[in-house]
Chain A
């Protein structure tokens, strides 16, 4: 097992990342056995190959155990399964290193069988001390320490007797399998409720997201799985400023793959605000969401992002909704201009900046993206005209006032007219004594 958090997803593992057998502390082994093992494994590592040689002094311990544990229906006295798949262990990464059962189950001695009914939990830190230490700082480790016994431990992600190297296609921690591994808890309603897992059913959100779909496509090796954003053993809570998913770090995390967008974003107003420490400025997930990321052409995303802009730009959203553009998108159709159509998305700049899509210099070209043949007059339309701002839109203001009074006047006059009429007609009908006609 690697102790580092970063996973090398595409290529073969680098030698430096291979397990370091000399880190194994064999508490029950003799000096001679330790020496032999070190020599053999040392040779294997230097040769970049599987440790081919079998340590001379590790013969029958595992067979001794499997004598009882091999049967698939083997049960302890309490009726719990005690079955261990021997061949699977042999092909596991630990089997590869010819570890003995007692290397992990340290409270069992091969010469004292049967062993105690209840064994101590296996302590992975006996060998993987750095990884376990790192785990204790992760969101899972912290939750465990806080008494949440649903939070994932080593075996929840890596397995037990069947642990494989991450690069192996069947491994639970293989690039294409990690989603399923995480979703075993983060997509399971009972576990979510029991462990109060944040974010709810992330499994189905991610499954339908653009990343989830990419993981099932031919491009799966370049699509991100959970740990690519969250880290594995460095999966810090997002409240930790060092976390890859801390609010301040999200653009960097996304930008590690989406470089052109990252560049546009850092040059844009929102990215600049972030550089000045304004964390309220939107980052990637504010518009795109974290787990439910959709294709940016999707109407639901396009129209949804408008409301997201409106969470800060209230006035602009409200005046936009008064225009045809804003009305059509409010109905859920993305055929008309959204905020990003005119202002840009990642590279949004203030209109005073000459490089902005809505600057005086660029405005007409921006209109012409959709309205071919638009003239300078056309571009002088105010797409954010406010009927309440006399200075900004005097003609619009007067027109609005006129219409207001016209509507009130007409409806008031005819409202009263009709009310009186109804009253009089009823009196006539029910013989309430209308005056005699002339």
Chain B
């Protein structure tokens, strides 16, 4: 979520290694990627907040929230608007990833290797090692650019975009899609739209990280310097905290409401 990640000093282990880069900052994402990330975050929270009252319409808080958001019709407009932006971001992401890869002529690298998000044997090993560490039977494993849970998170969003986005479009234009699809598809669409959304909201806040391998690999390949950046200014850190904090709080509110409604 942070636009610049204090990589080396984020953990006790990192501090212990005292590799002398404790105060250096590295840019993990390009400006466009960051804009897209913020857009995704905002539209995600927008969709979740405007959708939750429907999913929990039997709860008193849902009625309150729905009225707070300007009523079901306003919420519906916001929901569709956010969904539209999210779909645009998602499609742009896919186009960008492949576009960049084609331009660099390394399409294979996004499909396989340490920079790829595609699950590979190393992830199996990583899971096994991490589980061993959990039960105290091994050292704390180090990861390369993408940890297996980050990959899971990425593909969860990917799958979610297809399922939620697809079912959402079906429900948005039922008369049109009913020309092509049977009626029961709409039953399933409304079911999976809600439940996938629950899954997405639930998984939204995962992940803290250890990313030493990427650091080491980048050092080895002498590419680190290119990614070095000025430390974030006070204002931008504050901004990051406010935006991130707001999104996180809204997400936590959503999860609290979901858990509350489960009992």
Q: Which residues on A are within 8 Å of B, measured CB to CB?
A: 321-324, 326-328, 330-333, 335, 371-375, 377-382, 385, 387, 393, 395-396, 399-400, 403, 406-407, 410-411, 414, 417-418, 420-421, 423-424, 428-429, 434-438
Contact = CB atoms under 8 A, between A and B. Distances in A.
Contact of B54 (A331, A378, A410): A331
Given A321-B57, A371-B174, A333 B190 contact: no
A243 B134 CA distance: 77
Given A378-B175, A378-B178, A333 B72 contact: yes
Contact of B55 (A327, A403, A429): A327
Contacts of A417: 134, 149
Interface stretch (B36-44, B181-189, B230-238): B181-189
B195 A374 contact: no
Contacts of B72: 328, 331, 333, 335
Contact of A328 (B13, B57, B135, B190): B57
Interface in B188-206: 188, 190-192, 195-196, 198-199, 202-203, 206
A242 to B, nearest CB: 43
B12 A429 contact: yes
Given A396-B191, A403-B195, A380 B184 contact: yes
10 contacts: A330-B58, A333-B72, A375-B175, A375-B178, A377-B182, A378-B183, A381-B178, A381-B184, A417-B134, A424-B136
Given A331-B54, A378-B178, A407-B199, A385 B187 contact: yes
A18 to B, nearest CB: 58
B139 A436 contact: yes
A331 B140 contact: no
B54 A328 contact: yes
A410 B199 CA distance: 8
A326 B57 contact: yes
Contact of B66 (A326, A331, A400): A331
Given A330-B57, A374-B175, A396 B199 contact: no
B187 A378 contact: no
A332 B63 contact: yes
B71 interface: yes
Contacts of A429: 12
Interface string B60-82: 00110010000111000000000
A387 B188 CA distance: 10
Given A330-B58, A420-B134, A428-B12, A437 B140 contact: yes
Given A330-B58, A407-B198, A434-B140, A424 B184 contact: no
Given A333-B73, A371-B175, 5 more contacts: A332-B66, A382-B187, A396-B187, A410-B156, A438-B139
A403 B196 contact: yes
Contacts of B202: 407, 410-411
A381 B170 CA distance: 12
Given A374-B178, A375-B178, A396 B188 contact: yes
B73 A403 contact: no
A372 B13 CA distance: 64
B179 to A, nearest CB: 6
B183 A382 contact: yes
Contacts of A373: 175
Interface string B1-16: 0000000000011000
A110 B228 CA distance: 119
Contacts of A380: 182-184
B171 interface: yes
B239 interface: no
A412 to B, nearest CB: 11
Contact of B134 (A379, A396, A399, A424): A424
B174 A378 contact: yes
B138 A435 contact: yes
A332 B179 CA distance: 31
Nearest to B53: A331
Interface string B203-219: 10010000000000000
A373 B173 CA distance: 12
A77 to B, nearest CB: 63
Given A324-B54, A324-B190, A327-B54, A382 B13 contact: no
Contacts of A387: 191
Closest 9 interchain pairs by CB? A380-B183, A378-B178, A381-B183, A420-B134, A330-B57, A327-B57, A403-B195, A327-B54, A385-B187
B133 interface: yes
Contact of B175 (A372, A423, A428): A372
Contacts of A396: 184, 187-188, 191
Nearest to A394: B184
Q: Which of B135, B190, B196 has the most CB of A within 10 A?
A: B190
A53 B57 CA distance: 75
